[in-house]
Amino acid sequence: MTAERDLTSPPDLEERHGTGPARSRRPVYVDLLPPCNDACPAGENIQRWLSQTQAGRLRDAWETLVADNPLPAIHGRVCYHPCEGACNRARLDSTVSIHAVERFLGDRALAEGWRAAPLSGPSGKRVLVVGAGPSGLAAAWHLALRGHAVEVRDAGPKAGGMMRFGIPAYRLPRGVLDGEIARIEALGVRFVLDHRVEDLETELREGRFDASFIAVGAHVSKRTEIPARDAGRMLDAIAFLRDVERGSVPRLGRRVAVYGGGNTAMDAARTALRLGYEPIVIYRRDREHMPAHDFEAQEALDEGVTIRWLRSIKAIEGKTFTVEEMAIDEKGRPVPTGRFETLEADDLLLALGQDTDTAFLRNVPGVEVERDGSVRVGADFMTGRPGLFAGGDVVPGERSVTVAVGHGKRAARHIDAWLRSARFEKPAKRPLASFEKLHLWYYTDPGHRPQEQASLGRRLYSFEEVVSGLSDDEAVFEARRCLSCGNCFECDGCLAACPEDAISKLGAGKGYRVDFARCTGCAICFEQCPCHAIEMVPEPAAETDPT
C-alpha cells in the first residue's frame, strides 16, 4: 500500500505535466501603446483618461488630460481628431468619439472651476514666450507647472492667436477660449498684450529672461497674381475673420467669392453666410484632395455654401470672374483643361494659406530663417541661438491647433531641462497594440452616441455653437466603448481561465501575478486576454552552476 500524497504541498516537479523544463514560453503582463495615443500630436494618454472617465473619476481624467494638454475644451471642438482615425474600434463598428469625451471633460472643468497646482517650487528662472496662440499657451502652461516664471507677450488685444482671430465663434465659443486661458493665467503666467516684439535681444536682456520660446503663428495671408480690371475688393480671408472677431465687419457686396480650399476658406464662407452674404467657394482641386477637413466642407454644404471644385480664377473684370476648369492627374495635382466659364461675384476673399512673420528674428545671431519665414530648429526645438526655442506654425511642418500644442509641450520639456543644465530624453516607444493583436471574444455593439447639431434655421442667422456636447451619461457610455488596446483593464478573464490556478489578483488597480511554479505555459490566459495585455515570451535559459 502506497503512502497518500499530502495535497496541501505542491507536487514534485516530475508530477506537474508540462512545467519546468517542458515549458517553452511563459505569460508576461505588458503595457502596449494604444493606437489613439500614438496618433495624438499633443501626446495625450487617451486610453488612460477614457478609462478614468468610464469609472466616473472625472477629475482624475481631466488631470490626466491637462498633464499633456491644457486646452481640452478647445481641442474637443477644433481638433481634427487623428486619434479617432487610428482607433481600433473603427474596424468593428465605429470609432470611439474621443474628441466628444475630451470636450465633456474640458467643459466640466470650466463649470467646476478646476485648477492645477505646480509640480515643483519656484525655479528662479524666467522664460519669455512670444505669441499667445496654442503653442505659446501650451509651452507657458508646462513651464509654469515646472516652477518657472513665464511671461507671454503678444501683438493682439487678447490672447488666443488664431484660435480667437481665425476660428469663428460658432466652432469655438469665446467663453470657452477665455476660460481655458484664465486657468493658465491662474497658474501664475503673466500676459502682456498689444505688444509686438521687434527687438528680441533687447527684450530678453531687459526682462532678464533665461530662455525664450517663439510661437508667433502664421497670420500673414499668401497672395496670388490675378489679372483684374475694375474689380471689386480683394481681401485676405484671415483679415476678414479678424475684423469680424473685433466687431468691425467690412461692408461687402451681396455675392462674395472665397478662393481656396482649406479650413480658413470654409470658415470665411460660413462666416459670410451668417452675415447675410451669398458665398461661393472656388477651389482648384476636387473634394477628395482639398486640405479642409471633410466634416468642415460638409457642414458648409449643409448650410448652403456653394463650392465650385476644380476651378482656377484666371481673370477678373468688374464683377465677372473668368475661371478655368481643372482636372486631377495621377499624382493628385490640378492640371488645366483649356475650358473656361464665368462666375459673378462682388468681392473676393483670398484664402490661399498663411505664412509667418518672423522678420524680427532675421538679425538674431544663430537663428536660421527660411525663405517662407519658418525657423529652423533641432530635435529639441532650439534654434542656433542657445536658449532660444521655437515651435508651432513658425517651424516647418503640419499646421494645426493640436500639432502646435504638442510642440509647446515638447519644447517646454527641453527648455526645462536646458534651464536645469540637463537634457530631456524621450522615453523609448512601446510596441503598438494593433487591431490584429486583440482577442475580442467579448465584443458587443452598444452603438455610437453622436453629438447633436443646431438646426439649420438657427445656424444661418447667428454665431451660436453648431455642435452640442455630451451629457454625463453619454460621455461615460462613450468612454466605455474604448477597447483598452494594449492596457490591462482587470477584466479577470485570465484569472478565471487559468486551468492551473497560477494567476492571482493583487488588488484593484494593481494587476495580476503569475506563479511560475504552477504555470504550464499553455497560453490560455494570452488567448483570452481581449486587449493583448499578456504576451507569451520565450522561457529564460536555465541558470547554470558556475562551479
Residue type at 165 in one-letter notation: F
At the top level of CATH, which class does the domain 13-31+488-538 belong to? Answer: alpha beta
pLDDT computed for residue 144 by the predictor: 97
Q: What is the pLDDT of residue 462?
A: 79
Closest CA to 296 of 466, 59, 494: 466
> Per residue, what are the HEC states of 360-415?
HHCCCCCCCECCCCCECCCCCCECCCCCEEECHHHCCCCCCHHHHHHHHHHHHHHH
Task: Work out the angle at residue 35's Cα, subtended by the Cα atoms of residues 32 and 40, and round it to the nearest 5 degrees.
Answer: 120
Q: What is the secondary structure of 250-304 as a DSSP string? A: PP--SEEEEE--SHHHHHHHHHHHHTT-EEEEE-SS-GGG-SS-HHHHHHHHHHT
Domain with CATH 3.30.70.20 in the chain: 13-31+488-538
Ordered DSSP codes for 432-462: B--GGG---TT-------PPPB--HHHHTT-
Residues 396-429 as b/e (b if ≥16 CB within 10 A, e otherwise) read eeebbbbbbbbbbbbbbbbbbebbeeeeeeeeee
Report which of 100, 198, 202, 192 is spatially closest to residue 154, judged by C-alpha positions: 192
Rounded Cα–Cα distance for residues 403 and 427 (Å): 20
C-alpha cell at 246: 473685433
Question: pLDDT digits over 408-458, tens only?
Answer: 999 999 999 999 999 998 888 999 999 999 998 766 666 666 788 777 777
Q: State how far the alpha carbon of 108 is from the alpha carbons of 61, 63, 111, 114, 366, in Å.
A: 11, 12, 5, 8, 45
- Taking a C-beta distance cutoff of 8 angstroms, is the pair 308, 279 a contact? no
Count of CB atoms situated within 10 Å of the CB of 287: 15
CB neighbour list of residue 161: distance below 8 Å, 6 or more residues apart: 131, 132, 133, 134, 136, 154, 217, 219
Positive/negative CA dihedral, 356, 365, 403, 169? negative
CATH class of the domain at 36-115+442-479: mainly alpha
**pLDDT of amino acid 9:** 36
Report residues of the chain scoring pLDDT below 70: 1-21, 219-221, 229-232, 442-449, 542-547
**DSSP SS3 for 472:** helix
Give the pLDDT score at 543.
46
Q: Quick one: pLDDT at residue 544?
A: 40
CATH class, domain 221-354, is: alpha beta
User: pLDDT digits over 509-546, tens only?
Assistant: 899 999 999 999 999 999 999 999 999 999 887 544 44
Cα–Cα distance measured from residue 335 to residue 348, given in angstroms and rounded to the nearest whole number: 23
Query: In which residue ranges of the chain is CATH 3.50.50.60 found?
Result: 126-219+355-419, 221-354
pTM of the model: 0.88
The CATH label, of 3.40.50.620, 3.40.1160.10, 3.50.50.60, 3.40.50.10490, for the domain at 126-219+355-419 is 3.50.50.60
